[in-house]
Amino acid sequence: MSSTTLLANMPAFDDAVRAVWDVATPLGVGVHINLVQGEPLARVRTLVDAKTGRFHRLAALVVRAFAGAIDPDEVGAECDAQITAVRRAGVDPTHVDSHMHTHAIPALWHPIAAAAVRAGIHAMRWPVESFRNTPLEPMRVPVNVLIALSWASIRRTASPLRYPDHFIGISLQGGRDVERNLLRALDNLAPGTTELMVHPGRSDSELASMDGYTWQRDAELAALTSPAVRERLSRGDIDLINFSALT
């Protein structure tokens, strides 16, 4: 792993920051903009449920975004607050991405991108995976189609932000055959830069109370640290970089 991101408004943020400093090899660390889980760091009336003060979940956020019910200035204010929180923790962010790929929604991309530029952050995830990599499963194909259509309109917008040339990640999710799929992805990388998105971790009851992606994280961690994957990365034909290396 050469890059990670931090969720500034979640309970384990301080622990995550300490973990970043404990890693022997320096990591590129980005801001994982979160507009769908927990409570905001700024006053953002159009982003939260008035009864709970917590963010709307993804489905509601998408509907509200396409209905024009979200104030872009509030999106920008929340992004500013989350980026500031990461900087106050002593981390200089290399890039921004977002929880549940919400920055691929056109109505949200503009204020998120503007916040990144305001903060002097010049790189962002481009979350569109080649359809040849996407498993033919009921949910993943339409999700990737929607992201691709949204991102196609976004990419026509002039922006100083930089992106990797390629993205792989949706095809690796789910916890099944992770090592085999990961090795296949590494063997078939396209020329240029590729972001390989993974969600490794160790599941416990606290994680399960917030996120349904649990045992799958353990499977991804096992695959990433397996002898076969380590050997594949040691052959010298793949350079591990982070977003700060994008030009």
- The amino acid at 193: T
Domain annotation for the chain: domains and CATH numbers: 3-245 (3.20.20.370)
Say if residues 13 and 7 touch (Cβ distance below 8 Å): yes
pLDDT in the model for residue 208: 86
Angle, helices 106-118/58-66, rounded to nearest 10 degrees: 100
CA distances, 239 to each of 23, 123, 178 (Å): 19, 18, 21
What pLDDT, on the 0 to 100 scale, is given for residue 67?
Answer: 95
pLDDT for residue 144: 61
In this structure, the dihedral spanned by the alpha carbons of residues 205, 58, 12 and 86, taken in order and rounded to 10 degrees, is 170
Q: Is the pTM of this model over 0.85?
A: yes
Contact 115, 152 (CB under 8 A): no
Using CA atoms, how far apart are residues 213 and 215, in angstroms rounded to an integer? 7
Counting as low any pLDDT under 50, the low residues of the chain are 135-138
Structure tokens at 34: 């979160």
Task: Summarize pLDDT for 68-102 with one digit per residue, the tens.
Answer: 999 999 999 999 999 999 999 999 999 999 999 99
| pLDDT, position 210 | 84
Q: What is the pLDDT of residue 136?
A: 44
pLDDT of residue 132: 57
Which pLDDT score, from 0 to 100, does residue 160 have?
85
